[in-house]
Structure 1
Amino acid sequence: MVAFSTDTSPLPKTKKSLQLGNYGTLMSSQEMPEEYWTPLKLPPEKRVTSSRSDLTSVATDNLSELLDETIAEEQTTIDRVFAFLGFTANPFSSYADDVCNNKASDMRLSMLSNISAAYNAVSISMALDIMQDLYETTSKDKSLCSSALIAGMIVGQLAGGAIGDILGRHMAMAVVMSLQIVGALITACAIQSSFSIYAFIAIWRLILGIGCGGVYPLAATITAESNDDTKDGGKAVALTFSMQGIGYLLPPILTALLARFVPLRLLWRIILGFGAIPGLWLMVLRLKNQIARTNSQVYKSKRNMLTNAREVPVNVLEAIYVEPDLFRKMIGTGGCWFLFDVLFYGNVLFQPIVLSAAFGQAETVQRGAIDSAVVSLLALPGYFASIIAMGHQSPRFIQSQGFLMMAILYGSIGVFFQHLSRHKFALVLLYGGTFFFSNYGPNATTYVLPSLTFSSSCRSTLNGICAACGKAGALIGSMVFVFAASKFGEDIVLLACAVVSLIGMVVTICCVSETVIHDEQIKKPEVRMRVVISEPSLLDYFETA
Structure 2
Amino acid sequence: MYIAFYGLGLNSANILHAIGFGEPTKEGVRAVYDNLNNVCIGNLILSAAGLIPGYWVAFVFIDSWGRKQMQLMGFVVLTGLFVILGFGYDKLKDTKVFVFLYCLANFFQNFGPNVTTFVIPGEIFPTRYRSTAHGISAASGKLGAIVAQVGFSQLKDIGGRDQFVGHILKIFAFFMLTGVFSTLLLPETKKRSLEDLSNEKQEGFVKGPAVQRDNIELKIIPIASS
State whether TM-score is above 0.5: yes
User: Deviation at 1:365?
Assistant: 4.7
Q: Aligned with 1:514: secondary structure?
A: coil
Q: Tell whether the 8 Å contact from 1:358 to 1:428 is kept in structure 2 after alignment.
A: no
User: Deviation at 1:438?
Assistant: 0.4
Aligned to 2:53: 381
User: Deviation at 1:529?
Assistant: 5.7
Match 1:476 to one of 119, 135, 147: 147
CA RMSD of aligned residues (A): 2.5
Q: Aligned with 2:114: secondary structure?
A: helix
User: Deviation at 1:527?
Assistant: 6.7
- 1:405 and 2:77 aligned: yes
Task: Report Cα offsets for 1:216-267 as digits up to 9, x if no partner.
Answer: xxxxxxxxxxxxxxxxxxxxxxxxxxxxxxxxxxxxxxxxxxxxxxxxxxxx
Aligned to 1:420: 92
Report 1:230-379 matches (<5 A): 340-347=1-8, 348-349=10-11, 351-354=13-16, 357-361=20-24, 363=34, 365-378=36-49, 379=51
Aligned to 2:199: 523
- 1:501 and 2:176 aligned: yes
Q: Aligned with 2:117: secondary structure?
A: helix
1:514 counterpart letter in structure 2:
E
Q: Tell whether the 8 Å contact from 1:354 to 1:427 is kept in structure 2 after alignment.
A: no
Q: What stretches of structure 2 of length at least 5 have no aligned partner?
A: 25-32, 210-226
Aligned to 1:490: 165
How many Å separate the matches in 1 of 2:135 and 2:207?
21
The answer to which structure, 1 or 2, has the higher relative contact order (CA under 8 A, 6+ apart) is 2
How many Å separate the matches in 1 of 2:167 and 2:173?
10
Distance 1:364 1:487, change over 3 A: closer
Distance 1:353 1:478, change over 3 A: closer
Match 2:101 to one of 420, 424, 430: 430
Distance 1:529 1:458, change over 3 A: farther
Distance 1:496 1:382, change over 3 A: same
Q: Aligned with 1:492: secondary structure?
A: helix
2:21 counterpart letter in structure 1:
A
Q: Tell whether the 8 Å contact from 2:70 to 2:113 is kept in structure 1 after alignment.
A: yes
Q: Tell whether the 8 Å contact from 2:13 to 2:43 is kept in structure 1 after alignment.
A: no
Q: Tell whether the 8 Å contact from 2:2 to 2:141 is kept in structure 1 after alignment.
A: yes
Q: Aligned with 2:81: secondary structure?
A: helix
Aligned to 1:396: 68
Q: Percent identity?
A: 26
Match 1:454 to one of 117, 125, 129: 125
Q: Aligned with 2:63: secondary structure?
A: coil
How many Å separate the matches in 2 of 1:487 and 1:366?
27
Q: Aligned with 2:34: secondary structure?
A: coil
Aligned to 2:224: none
Q: Tell whether the 8 Å contact from 1:402 to 1:440 is kept in structure 2 after alignment.
A: yes
Q: Aligned with 1:523: secondary structure?
A: coil
Task: Report Cα offsets for 1:69-125 as digits up to 9, x if no partner.
Answer: xxxxxxxxxxxxxxxxxxxxxxxxxxxxxxxxxxxxxxxxxxxxxxxxxxxxxxxxx
How many Å separate the matches in 1 of 2:149 and 2:207?
42
How many Å separate the matches in 2 of 1:365 and 1:417?
24
State the TM-score, normalizing by the size of structure 2: 0.73
How many Å separate the matches in 1 of 2:107 and 2:120?
19
Q: Tell whether the 8 Å contact from 1:346 to 1:494 is kept in structure 2 after alignment.
A: no
Q: Aligned with 1:358: secondary structure?
A: coil
Aligned to 1:265: none
1:481 counterpart letter in structure 2:
F
Aligned to 1:322: none
2:85 counterpart letter in structure 1:
I
How many Å separate the matches in 2 of 1:449 and 1:411?
27
Q: Aligned with 1:344: secondary structure?
A: helix
Q: Aligned with 2:118: secondary structure?
A: helix
Distance 1:364 1:502, change over 3 A: closer
How many Å separate the matches in 1 of 2:12 and 2:44?
16
User: Deviation at 1:398?
Assistant: 0.5
Q: Which moved more, 1:442-451 or 1:369-378?
A: 369-378
1:427 counterpart letter in structure 2:
F
Report 1:164-183 matches (<5 A): none
How many Å separate the matches in 2 of 1:529 and 1:490?
57
Distance 1:343 1:369, change over 3 A: closer
How many Å separate the matches in 1 of 2:78 and 2:133?
27
Aligned to 2:111: 440
State the TM-score, normalizing by the size of structure 1: 0.32
Task: Report Cα offsets for 1:465-516 as digits up to 9, x if no partner.
Answer: 1111100111122223333333361111111110110111111012x11244
Aligned residues: 190
How many Å separate the matches in 2 of 1:414 and 1:367?
24
How many Å separate the matches in 1 of 2:129 and 2:137?
12
Distance 1:495 1:530, change over 3 A: farther
Q: Which moved more, 1:459-468 or 1:340-349?
A: 340-349
Match 1:513 to one of 163, 170, 187: 187
How many Å separate the matches in 1 of 2:137 and 2:207?
24
Q: Tell whether the 8 Å contact from 1:399 to 1:445 is kept in structure 2 after alignment.
A: yes
